[in-house]
Amino acid sequence: MTAILIACGGALITATVSVVTLLLNRKWAKEDRKSDKLDAIRSEVAAVRRTLTDHIAADAEADAKQARRRIIAFSDECRRGTRHSEEHFDNVLEDVDAYETYCNTHPTFANRKAVQSIRFIIDVYDRCKRTNDFI
């Protein structure tokens, strides 16, 4: 009888260990799947972050180029003798500030394209300010 109890007890212990092992394996597999999903999400977030950073950089460069176009066009108008209001000068000078800030923070950007135009606009603005010659 003792042998039967020992055999049954051993079988019960083996079954219990097997069930516990099975449950732990399922839990670990589930955690592995969660970890894999988290890794995939992290990877996607990193890709979105890179794309967003690239997009922001491209927008900033496009804004700088657009400001440069407005600066050069305004300078050309001044050279042709077109008079402007003080507000118009103020708007262009804001473009100048934004453009120069971008150029200073992006040394590889071709920033020598508007130097003469900027200098000319500032000279005309100073003259108009001294003589009150705005329209």
Encode pLDDT of 51-67 as tens digits.
Answer: 888 899 899 999 999 99
Rounded CA-CA distance 132/135 in Å is 9
pTM above 0.85, yes or no: no
pLDDT in tens, 83-104: 999 999 999 999 999 999 999 9
User: Which residues of the chain register pLDDT less than 50?
Assistant: none
Model pLDDT, residue 23: 65
